[in-house]
Structure 1
Amino acid sequence: MKILVVGGGGREHAICWKLSQSPKVTAILCAPGNGGTALLGENIPVKDDDIPGLVALARDREVDLVVAGPELPLVLGLANALDREGIPCFGPNAYAANLEGSKAFSKTVMREAGVPTAPFRVFDEYDEAVAHVRKKGAPIVIKADGLAAGKGVVVAATVAEAVDTLTDMMVKRTFGSAGARVVVEQALKGEEASFLAFCDGKNYALLPSSQDHKAVGEGDTGPNTGGMGAYSPAPILPEEKYAETAELCIKPILEHMAAKGEPFKGVLYAGLMYTEDGPSVLEYNVRFGDPECQPLLMRLETDLLTIMFACIDGMLDKIKVRSTPQTACGVVMAAKGYPGAYPKGMEIAGIEQADALPGVKVFQAGTRLDNGKILTSGGRILCVTALGDTLADAQKRAYEAVDKIHFDNSYHRRDIADKGLKRLS
């Protein structure tokens, strides 16, 4: 089978890598891809938001399956457009993708489906939003309704910061049309976990829990990023709680979407906050997380292609999705300055040496292949991922591998998985 993977990050490299292990896969195309995907198949310079271009590529190259890595093409209707051409797509249709594409839609669905989430209000008018914030006080959370590249959520510590955020989003349009409507919600305190499930519209198969590290600085300090590392499983959500948690945050969404005639097929990702009152859903994503995808796919034992077609065909209850009991830890190596301005074009050395370590795989994100050399081309550059019998083992191996890789202006956190180790102790 010929597969087209859409996207160009570490998540997409991990998806290509896992699919390449399937005996049924004969060729992998990636659009637009990166330096890592170029080593597994063919990169094609079509952007992930170019729906007509992606459909034409899939049709012209006679691909058997399209896999959407990021959320943007799904929100723009990639699955719908491919369906009209009779080409299978792993990922939800545009309506279901609004679970990530619109914060207001997602929160409303949570409320209607009975999913625990923070109290919220939706505002289209700036003055009304400001009045609400002044009445409620701080801390308070402001969310741009639309997609804002992971940067559209602000936890405002003061009323003044909240008003400034509303001004940026609704008046100055820092995030363009994504911030024209905002969700204002109660700030929750606690520890986060990511909980992902494969879904076929009715049935679901759970992946192990994981935990992302959003802040750029150690000790969860500094601005939020796309994620500086992740590990799986997360002790805050142990295996014995998976079924109970799925009843809380996965099953109600699948039933609600099916009742609307818009069954959810693909990966449903629940971002959870563990408060004193129990777990609460912060947000839903409609695809693998990045960097959670890398540790999760390192642990996955079942053929990924088989799982994807089971989701598309509504046959997920006919297969068993298994993951190794081992732990996985992934550390993101970024360019110094990220998530702000950062340099590009640095040559990366040591990836082969790191990859040669037992249980280690280096997934490339912001890279490009240039005359046999791997050069940096983005902010998050690598996710160095390792398996271990324990979380401590996986963390140790991941950092051993990180230390073998060198490029100018490199930056990474040294405390990925420390929260998990602390909880285990």
Structure 2
Amino acid sequence: MKVLLVGSGGREHALAWKIAQSPLLTALHAVPGSDAIGELATCHDGSVSDIDGLVELARKIEADLVVVGPENPLCDGLADRLRQAGIATFGPSGLAARLEASKAYAKDFYARHKVPSAGYGTFSDAAEAKAFLDRVEPPYVLKADGLAAGKGVVILDDRAEAEAEIDAFLSGKFGKASKTLVIEEFMAGEEVSIFALCDGETVLYCGAAQDHKRVGEGDTGPNTGGMGAYSPAPIATPELIDTAMKTIVEPVARGLAAEGHPFQGVLFAGLMVTKDGPKVVEFNIRFGDPECQVLMMRIDSDLLPYLLATATGALGEMPPITWSPDPAITVVLAANGYPGDYRKGSVIKGVTEANRMEGVQVFEAGTGRNARGERIAAGGRVLNVTASGETLHYAVERAYAAIDQIDWPEGFCRRDIAWRALRTH
């Protein structure tokens, strides 16, 4: 099989690493890819926003399957265009992708299909939004309606600060993404991510993980795109997973199909485990980043047939995915200053040595190579140091031992990834 992978980050590096292990694979291509992905695939120049160019490339290389990593091209209708060209595609249609592209649409969808979630209001007028704060208890949860790279959520205890953020959001803090604002009731509990493949009809469980969104240890500081993740998460018991699949994931898949937008790809349910059971925080329409990295480390099955079955409507013929019993953890090494301003171009040493360690795989999220061939930082989240082990303790020890092999003074990481799980063991 010839596969074209769309994307360039750590998630896509992890997908490339897993897909490359398949005996079904004859050629792996990536656009735009990265220097790290280029060690596994043939990379092609291009942009994930150039829908015409991506379709043309898929035709040119005669791709049997296109796997779309990031959300933006899916929300822009890439999967629709590829399917119109007769190319099997792992990723939902643009209309199904609204589940992630618009939080206002998603909240209305949950309400229509009785999917448990927080109470909410949707606003484009600041005065109306501020008045709605009278109806909810602090902390106040403010969300940009559109895509904001994982940073469009603010949780505040102070009423005056919340009102100031309302003004900032609606004045364009996140550009078009925050022209509309969703305010939600705060849900107390612990978050967990559940993943499921869906071919438009069949829904197949594809793992659970827990990530750390805040930049600081102890889950403090501003939200980021994710500073680390681990799987399995103790809170994701078989009973919880069964409840979440039956009351949340499967109803969402059925609802999309019933409304004429059958979903083909991976449904990523971000859930809050409350005293009343799991409720939706949000749905994403692609693998999580960095959750994908730990899932790829733990999947024992050949992933490629599942991606193809999802794209071609044959998921009902597939057996359940098999998993390694060994836990996995990924720790994000980010550039100093992230999620604010950060500098690119600093040299990173020691990644090769880290990759030689038992049970360790470093996925490269935002790296490049300089004129001397040295690995350099080229983004905010730069490396995903991923490790597995017989126990979570061993996996954590391996990951941080690998980080200690990496020489990059211009970067930082959290040293407490998986702290909730370690606390209960």
- Shorter chain as denominator, the TM-score bin is over 0.9
Q: Distance in 1 between matches of 2:177 and 2:247?
A: 29
Long gaps (5+) in structure 2: none
Structure 1 residue 4: Cα displacement: 1.4
Equivalence for 1:407: 408
Structure 1 residue 277: Cα displacement: 2.1
Equivalence for 2:225: 226
Structure 1 residue 25: Cα displacement: 1.4
Structure 1 residue 45: Cα displacement: 2.7
Map 1:24-423 to 2 at 5 A.
24-171=24-171, 173-320=172-319, 321-370=321-370, 371-423=372-424
Q: Distance in 2 between matches of 1:180 and 1:280?
A: 26
Letter in 2 for 1:37: I
Letter in 2 for 1:67: V
Secondary structure at 2:405's aligned position in 1? coil
Letter in 1 for 2:375: I
Q: Distance in 1 between matches of 2:354 and 2:238?
A: 30
Identity of counterpart residues, as a percentage? 48
Secondary structure at 1:272's aligned position in 2? strand
Could you tell me whether the CA contact under 8 Å between 1:196 and 1:267 is conserved in 2? yes
Q: Distance in 2 between matches of 1:68 and 1:360?
A: 25
Could you tell me whether the CA contact under 8 Å between 2:6 and 2:70 is conserved in 1? yes
Structure 1 residue 218: Cα displacement: 0.3
Q: Distance in 1 between matches of 2:400 and 2:368?
A: 23
Number of residues paired by the alignment? 423
Q: Distance in 2 between matches of 1:401 and 1:208?
A: 25
Letter in 1 for 2:326: Q
Could you tell me whether the CA contact under 8 Å between 2:153 and 2:223 is conserved in 1? no
Secondary structure at 2:14's aligned position in 1? helix
Structure 1 residue 137: Cα displacement: 4.9
Could you tell me whether the CA contact under 8 Å between 1:134 and 1:159 is conserved in 2? no
Structure 1 residue 28: Cα displacement: 1.9
Q: Distance in 1 between matches of 2:352 and 2:170?
A: 47
Q: Distance in 1 between matches of 2:66 and 2:257?
A: 23
TM-score under structure 2 normalisation?
0.97
Structure 1 residue 240: Cα displacement: 4.1
Secondary structure at 1:142's aligned position in 2? strand
Could you tell me whether the CA contact under 8 Å between 2:88 and 2:312 is conserved in 1? no
Could you tell me whether the CA contact under 8 Å between 1:207 and 1:323 is conserved in 2? no
Out of 124-133 and 284-293, give the one that drifted further.
124-133
TM-score under structure 1 normalisation?
0.97
Out of 294-303 and 401-410, give the one that drifted further.
401-410
Could you tell me whether the CA contact under 8 Å between 2:115 and 2:280 is conserved in 1? yes
Structure 1 residue 408: Cα displacement: 2.9
CA RMSD in angstroms, aligned pairs only: 1.3
Could you tell me whether the CA contact under 8 Å between 1:208 and 1:239 is conserved in 2? no
Structure 1 residue 29: Cα displacement: 1.9
Letter in 1 for 2:207: P
Q: Deviation per CA, 1:154-213, whole angstroms, max 9, x where unpaired?
A: 112211121111111112x11111111111110112211111111111112112221000
